[in-house]
């Protein structure tokens, strides 16, 4: 086997574990989504087994990555970023704009038209968040403040302050967000394929 290929395959295990932990997914959840047993996933992550193509394809799909991104293949000289949108059960779409472990990550969020009577479900977590509205109107509830952000407006805040984002009844909204690892786990978790039953 080519030495570079061997090194790439040997590095897949730790990368799989890092991706799973970063997305806050359990081995059992990943097994259910991919059809790969938890024991096999555990051996792959520990580097005790090299992945096959039949295993890499569902893993790439589950993590919203291309095969090249999943195995961190060496660059081919093509500077284009292959954006893989994450479709969420609530109709929103998340586009990862950066692909590197750790540090600040950039995302584009597209939220469908909202309901102005929606009762915000405020959340808190460690970290900081920065948002910049591209199109539409973004409602940001931050502690005691209920703000409406228009295109070109930005907000930055400590995410230990209770907060919530949503589109207004005026229509969909697109915004950019820079978030750290803690915020990523809270905001960019792949949603279930179908909405839960009431």
Instruction: Pick the closest to residue 88 from 190, 172, 171 (CA basis).
Output: 190
Place of tokens 């284009």: 80
Q: Is 47 within 8 Å of 10 (Cβ atoms)?
A: yes
Q: Which of 124, 134, 128 is nearest to 179 (CA)?
A: 128
Q: Domains along the chain? A: 3-71 (1.10.260.40), 86-188 (2.60.120.10)
What's the confidence (pLDDT) of residue 175?
95
| For the chain, percent of residues with pLDDT exceeding 70 | 78
Structure tokens that stand for 89 in this block: 């059960």
Backbone dihedral region for residue 124 (phi beyond 0: left; psi -120 to 50: alpha; all else: beta): beta
Dist. CA 3–CA 47, nearest whole Å: 17
Q: Grade residue 183 by pLDDT with cuts at 50, 70 and 90.
A: very low
Residue 84 has pLDDT above 90, yes or no: no
Residue 39: pLDDT band by 50, 70, 90 thresholds? very high
Strand-pair partners of 174: 110, 135
| Cα 156 to Cα 55: distance, rounded to the nearest angstrom | 40
Sequence-separated (6 or more) residues with CB below 8 Å from residue 33: 58, 62
Mean pLDDT in residue range 6-27: 82
Q: What is the per-residue pLDDT for 75?
A: 59
The pLDDT tens digits of the residues spanning 68-79 come to 777 776 655 555
- How far is residue 115's CA from residue 80's CA, in Å, rounded to a whole number? 37
Query: What does pTM read for this prediction?
Result: 0.54
* pLDDT at residue 194 is higher than 60: no
Total Cβ atoms within 10 A of residue 151: 14
The pLDDT value given to residue 182:
53
């Amino acid at each position: 086997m080519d030495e570079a290929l061997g090194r790439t395959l040997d590095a897949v295990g730790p990368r799989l574990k890092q991706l799973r932990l970063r997305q806050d997914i359990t081995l059992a959840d990943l097994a259910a989504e991919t059809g790969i047993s938890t024991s096999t996933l555990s051996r792959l992550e520990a580097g005790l087994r090299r992945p096959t193509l039949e295993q890499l394809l569902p893993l790439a799909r589950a993590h919203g990555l291309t095969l090249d991104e999943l195995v961190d293949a060496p660059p081919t000289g093509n500077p284009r970023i292959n954006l893989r949108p994450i479709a969420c059960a609530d109709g929103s779409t998340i586009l990862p704009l950066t692909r590197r472990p750790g540090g600040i990550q950039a995302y584009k969020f597209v939220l469908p038209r909202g309901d102005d009577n929606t009762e915000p479900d405020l959340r808190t977590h460690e970290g900081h968040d920065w948002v910049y509205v591209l199109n539409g109107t973004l409602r940001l509830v931050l502690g005691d403040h209920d703000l409406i952000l228009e295109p070109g407006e930005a907000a930055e805040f400590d995410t230990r302050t209770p907060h919530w984002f949503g589109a207004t009844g005026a229509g969909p909204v697109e915004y950019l967000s820079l978030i750290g690892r803690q915020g990523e786990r809270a905001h960019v978790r792949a949603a279930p394929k179908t909405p839960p039953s009431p």
